[in-house]
Amino acid sequence: MNRCALIVVLTYAILAIAVTSSQAAVTVHPTGQRASKVRKYWTAERMRAAIPVERLALAGRDGKASKGGKPGGGSTSGATSTEVTIAPGTPLTAHGKVFFTDSGVNYVCSGTALAGDVIWTAGHCVNAGPGAFYTNFQFVPAYRDGAAPYGVFPATTLLTTNGWSASGQFGVDSGAAVPGLNASGQTLSAAVVERSITFNTPRNQSYSVYGYPAAKRFSGQRMRVCTTAWSRDDTSTAPAAMGIPCDMTGGSSGGGWITAGGSVASNVSYGYSSLKNVLFGPHLETEAQALYVAADAAG
């Protein structure tokens, strides 16, 4: 075998190993649900009545805080969120509200449409971690007061990291969904301006964090944004989760953290009830990259 041929063979071998490793880091679940049935399930009444899943997830984080130690220090500047006006034809249309069902209870989260027709959210918005995947998952970009200006997108496939699906590791609490068409026959990319995603970026930077907080003083009916910056890390997770000042509450989980360059660099994951106005999100590294690659390939 000549040298050029050997290089080609080695290159394909390396790629095969990389693909296998990526696939091994991700749990993939075809929903098996017809889009028409999911859309029919989500009546206006059910969407209004759905509750934030964080009522469960945040309580779990308080339990871990007593073991790993509550992260402290850092500034709370930039914690107050503001309502967002979503202009058509802009990347703001990529942000939306997530609906799903778990054991007969209807829940809400937030999410972001990514290039390649991928919906990015938190792992605990697609899977119990550890446990089963949820049902009736649909994404409503630019949701506002019950309106769906770009249609609704039921998921055909749900995915999350193995770390989340197997053991509920908050350091890799990211999830993804592959959407079908909306009722008008449009793909997600045809309906909205999708965001890009970035991995292994510097932690200490500014973010615009978008979500639909639905607990306490928020209604969950309108998108809000925290214009904020990294303030701390939570070393009780692996990789260490990033902390930002932000007053958004339950319902904002899965909401995208957008860099100055316009890319998703994290998603809202959890908070500590004893640490006011601070949200944490995973630092997107190898596992998150494998998740996005798998979701893009499944579309």
pLDDT of 53 strictly over 90: no
Quote the CA–CA distance of 19 and 222 in Å, as a whole number. Answer: 39
Quote the CA–CA distance of 290 and 160 in Å, as a whole number. Answer: 10
Q: Name every residue whose Cβ is closer than 8 Å to that of residue 211 and which is 6 or more positions away in sequence.
A: 95, 110, 223, 224, 248, 251, 252, 253, 254, 255, 268
What 8-state DSSP symbol labels residue 172? G
Q: How many CB atoms lie within 10 A of CB 158?
A: 27
pLDDT at 299: 86
pLDDT of 235 strictly over 70: yes
What angle, 0 to 180 degrees and rounded to 10, lies between the N-to-C axes of helices 286-298 and 3-24?
90
pLDDT at 71: 52
| Across 17-45, average pLDDT | 81
Query: Residue 174 — pLDDT band, cuts 50, 70, 90?
Result: very high
Lowest mean pLDDT among 76-85, 123-132, 226-235, 271-280: 76-85
Domains of the chain: 23-298 (2.40.10.10)
Q: What is the pLDDT of residues 55-98, one digit of tens each?
A: 445 544 543 322 233 455 555 666 999 999 999 999 999 999 99
Question: Is the overall model pTM greater than 0.85, yes or no?
Answer: yes
